[in-house]
Structure 1
Amino acid sequence: MLAAIKNWKIHFLALILVIIAEWIGAFSFAIGPGKIVLLPMLYALIMGIFLGPKFLKLASHKDMVDAGSLVGVTLMLLMAKYGTTVGPNIPMILRTSPALILQELGNLGTLFVGVPIAVYLGLRRETIGAAHSIAREPNVALIGDVYGLDTPEGRGVMGVYICGTVFGTIFFGLMATFTAAIGIFHPLALAMASGIGSASMMTASVGALSAMFPEIADKIQALGAASNMLSGLDGVYMSLWLALPMTEWMYQKFYKIKYGTYPSTSAVKEG
């Protein structure tokens, strides 16, 4: 209660954004065989960006930090709501369990794309932290434990974490609608792919898919929530045992290709 009174401005601004976003409502337009759906969450995120100290200055840097600490609480309520859709769909989830578990291997795709690009752009050991995963909270903790956050690897993972926090939800919401509109993948497959270990990104993707396919919205939400939970459980071990060693190896190889020599083994020297 005291925290709510202390941060009254944050709650007031959030309420105004929600009212405006809900007043605008969902907007959809056809593209090929499907349609693109823009949800109120997307409008609220974009409007929220312009409230910060860089633009309208309605929210200070401290307000932004305080708001970030409240995200986890609100997402807990949201995940509890999604949890109510899991129970009625337990038989379907059990039938798709192998796919739900194996989809975690898809997170390794970040390093196959990220490492070459990072090295090409001139990053050194920052590449390890930035490209080994999607850099959500468990990955930040992992890099902090293995390398420390006050290191090049720590700066890399924090840079991607911040970018994902700011742009990830917008990107996932749009990517889900574009991919669904193309019609290559089944909506339930896209729902499983939405669970990458980030509740906010999963929510944006699942929300867009539910709006596009309301007849199976409960199944989409159940698979997205289950997939996100499994990614949170096994994602750290996947990163520790597979992603980090592979990223280190790929970094060495691509560094040699670009600079003609292998990098120093000391992160301190390169940092």
Structure 2
Amino acid sequence: MTKNVKLHLIVLAFVVAGEWIGSKQFNIGVGTIALFPMLYVLVWGGIVSWPKFKLLTTKQMKHAATILGISFMLFVAKLGTMLGPSLPKIFEAGLSLAFQEVGHVVGTIIIGLPIALLLGMKREAIGATFSIDREPNLAIISEKYGADSPEGRGALGVYVCGTVFGAIYLALLAGYLGSIGFLHPISLAMGAGVGSGSMMAAASGALAVTFPNDADNIALFAAAANLITTILGTYICVFFSLPVTVRLYNWLEPKIGRHRLSIDKGGERM
């Protein structure tokens, strides 16, 4: 504990500063961009851990990764306590909300994994594409492979990208799709519940601006969809998405993976 006092103080300062700034929303016409304390803290953490600044040592950053794994396990335990009280809400929302999990399979595994392999990723592709890599998904990868594993780095990389760009991307996308008028606002609200509070808030906020008369229903169905994705999606990732991604990786990587090490007849790597 005493060896990590500096690390704990930095984290505490970031949390206090992030909560003091609070959430900010900006209307850019086609949607609403939402900024949250988690985004600020993530950016600050990236700055202080930049090797050139020498504010944190490699050992301290590894200690932070260990602490992160412990906090993930506590978060999963919290999710488990949410399951029972949330069952009435899940049943009231209807089975249609559950079908959004199909998008996780099509979007991240079937499309994302081949692209990751073509770009040259190795086992990092498993962690990066088995889900949208929010907090529960990071906990799954950390528990199975470890936070400092290739799979863990892949999942964390997508988590960072999702945190930095996800809210902005979904806000713009939701506002644009809503302005087209082709899709019903409630269906768009369901799609906003991807399992991330910041992304859901950004997307539903943009939809509320586009459809002010349906603002209450948009918030309700977006929250219900997000709840189902957070709870049901965790079990789908454990028992389906991750095993399927691993099998698909083992099948596709020798065929389309870039920068593969070939082995000649003598057994030496080329």
Q: TM-score, normalised by structure 1?
A: 0.65
Q: 1:240 to 1:19 in 2, by over 3 A?
A: closer
Aligned to 2:167: 173
Give 1:240-251 correspondences, 5 Å limit: 242-251=244-253
Mapped pair 1:27 → 2:29: no
Q: 1:36 to 1:115 in 2, by over 3 A?
A: same
Q: CA deviation at 1:247?
A: 4.5
Q: 1:270 to 1:121 in 2, by over 3 A?
A: farther
Q: CA deviation at 1:33?
A: 4.3
Aligned counterparts of 1:119 and 1:161: Cα–Cα separation in 2: 15
Q: CA deviation at 1:126?
A: 4.4
Aligned counterparts of 1:171 and 1:82: Cα–Cα separation in 2: 29
Q: CA deviation at 1:51?
A: 0.8
What letter is aligned with 1:170?
A: V
Give 1:50-129 correspondences, 5 Å limit: 50-72=47-69, 74=71, 76=74, 80=78, 87=85, 90-96=87-93, 98-108=95-105, 109-122=107-120, 126=123, 129=126
Q: CA deviation at 1:226?
A: 3.5
Aligned to 1:224: 226
Q: 1:90 to 1:141 in 2, by over 3 A?
A: closer
Mapped pair 1:236 → 2:238: yes
Aligned counterparts of 2:239 and 2:157: Cα–Cα separation in 1: 23
Contact kept? 2:39, 2:164, Cα under 8 Å: yes
Contact kept? 1:209, 1:217, Cα under 8 Å: no
What letter is aligned with 2:174?
A: A
What letter is aligned with 1:46?
A: V
Aligned counterparts of 2:45 and 2:233: Cα–Cα separation in 1: 28
> 1:224-271 deviations in whole A, cap 9, x for unaligned?
24321212212122236644444555556656xx99xxx99xxx9889
Q: For structure 1, list consecutive stretches of 5 or more residues without a partner in the other structure.
A: 145-153, 196-201
Aligned residue-pair number: 243
Q: For structure 2, list consecutive stretches of 5 or more residues without a partner in the other structure.
A: 179-184, 209-214
Contact kept? 1:31, 1:181, Cα under 8 Å: no
Aligned counterparts of 1:77 and 1:139: Cα–Cα separation in 2: 14
Q: CA deviation at 1:71?
A: 3.2
Q: CA deviation at 1:12?
A: 1.7
Q: CA deviation at 1:49?
A: 0.8
> 1:125-167 deviations in whole A, cap 9, x for unaligned?
648636651364435766x6xxxxxxxxx74x34412413443
RMSD of aligned Cα (Å): 4.4
Contact kept? 2:192, 2:225, Cα under 8 Å: yes
What letter is aligned with 1:230?
A: L
SS at match of 1:32: coil
Mapped pair 1:18 → 2:27: no
SS at match of 2:48: coil
Aligned to 1:189: 190
Aligned to 1:41: 38
What letter is aligned with 1:114?
A: G
Aligned to 1:151: none
